[in-house]
Copies of this chain bind each other. A is one copy, B any other.
Amino acid sequence: MKKSIGANTIVYPTPVLIVGTYDAAGKPNVMAVAWGGICCSDPPCVAIALRKATYTYGNIILQKAFTVSVPSEKHARAADYFGIASGKNANKFDVSGLTPVKSALVNAPCIEEFPLVLECKLIHQVKIGLHTQFIGEILDIKAEEGVLDEKGMPDIEKVRPFFYDPGAYAYYRIGEFLGEAFSIGKDLKKKA
């Protein structure tokens, strides 16, 4: 039996993505975003949704570029701080002790210490309501060598990302391997 819980913003999981931008003076800023994710395979694109009131919103409009970094669970405290402070009145890199590095391909900063970074060029902007969605084409992904597997691809168990539960305002670790995608449902397909 299902019960109505009202119009709400609950799906599981939502990511914790760190968006890096420069302001007009070249000051690097980062903010945490849970409303985001991959939105196209070709060209590879990522969408992030921001309130107009954020410092990052103006920076993206200005620079037409941003980075999206995936933090490891050891960075949860810094990532949380990036979501509760504003770049309008703080230099979040100075406060967190993390290191901004200019992206090789776009005019936006990456976080040196984070394992995975997507370098993005703004290609669409969609005003929805309180949030505006920015869609960036992913020009490249850069990964720490230590999180790569033997094929040179990121290994999620080395990246150790974490995620956000928007119903309970909580972060969770990733768990164990459950099964192979496009594979564990094959017997049902054969049955059809």
Using a CB–CB distance below 8 Å, which chain A residues touch chain B?
1-15, 17, 34-47, 49, 68, 70, 73, 76-85, 90, 95-96, 110, 116-118, 123-124, 126, 128-131, 133, 135, 137-145, 148, 152-156, 159, 161-189, 191-192
Contacts and interface: CB of A to CB of B under 8 A. Distances in A.
Tell me the number of copies of this protein.
2
Given A11-B36, A39-B128, 9 more contacts: A5-B141, A5-B152, A5-B153, A13-B13, A34-B38, A39-B49, A42-B131, A77-B185, A172-B178
Contacts of A141: 4-8, 10
B13 A163 contact: yes
Given A154-B167, A174-B172, A4 B142 contact: yes
